[in-house]
Amino acid sequence: LGWLAWRWLRSPAGRTWWQRRALRLPVVGPLLYKYELTLFARSLGTLLGNGVPLLTALHIATETVGNLNLRQPLAKMAPQVKEGARMVRAMEGTGVFEPLAINLVRVGEETGRIGPMMLELSEVLDREVETGIKRALTLLEPILILLLGVLIAAIIVSILLGILSINDLAG
């Protein structure tokens, strides 16, 4: 049964299902979401900064996103830009980006500096991910201490019950 579940999770449908669920997890989901967008923004900014054409850069940057639930909306950007839509409109159409990202790209389009703005966006998202990880670890530490305390208490109780049962047999 475990092998079948593992095999299904390795299939495209299973992986998509798992990744969708991972994005909905309370603490981890937003971190994964922002991490994937950081990869996209950093890749796109670096490619544009090195002279790669926008459409090619969009295709390559989209492929850096590992989560298929985010990659599919991002993949719709390149055809829209190819048809003549502004990049900001294409980003808004995905429903993936926060207003900060859209505003940064809007400024980048108006100034002709989309690449540096995407790199700035990646830095902002990277800081948010780091802050989120620190916050999650801060919450996790007391929980682990409590779990270890309960485990140690259970071990002590089982040892004492064993000693008391031996005393009952002897006495």
> Does some domain include residue 46?
yes
CATH code: domain of residue 34 = 1.20.81.30
Count how many domains the chain has: 1
Judge whether 134 and 126 are in contact, CB under 8 Å. no
Q: Is residue 155 in a domain? A: no
Query: Per-residue pLDDT tens for 150-165?
Result: 999 999 999 999 888 8
- Tell me the C-alpha distance between 138 and 117, whole Å: 32
pLDDT tens, residue by residue, 34-65: 999 999 999 999 999 999 999 999 999 999 99
Query: What pLDDT score was predicted for residue 171?
Result: 60
Q: Which of 109, 32, 92 is nearest to 67 (CA)?
A: 32
Average confidence (pLDDT) per 10 residues, the chain, 171 residues = 83 86 90 95 96 95 93 94 93 93 94 94 96 92 95 95 82 60
Contacts of 132 (CB under 8 A, 6+ apart): 27, 30, 31, 34
Residue 37 falls inside a structural domain: yes
Cβ–Cβ contacts within 10 Å for residue 49, how many?
Answer: 15
Q: Is residue 152 part of a domain?
A: no
Specify whether the CB–CB gap between 102 and 117 falls below 8 A. no
Segments forming the whole domain that contains residue 118: 2-140
Tell whether 8 is covered by a domain. Answer: yes
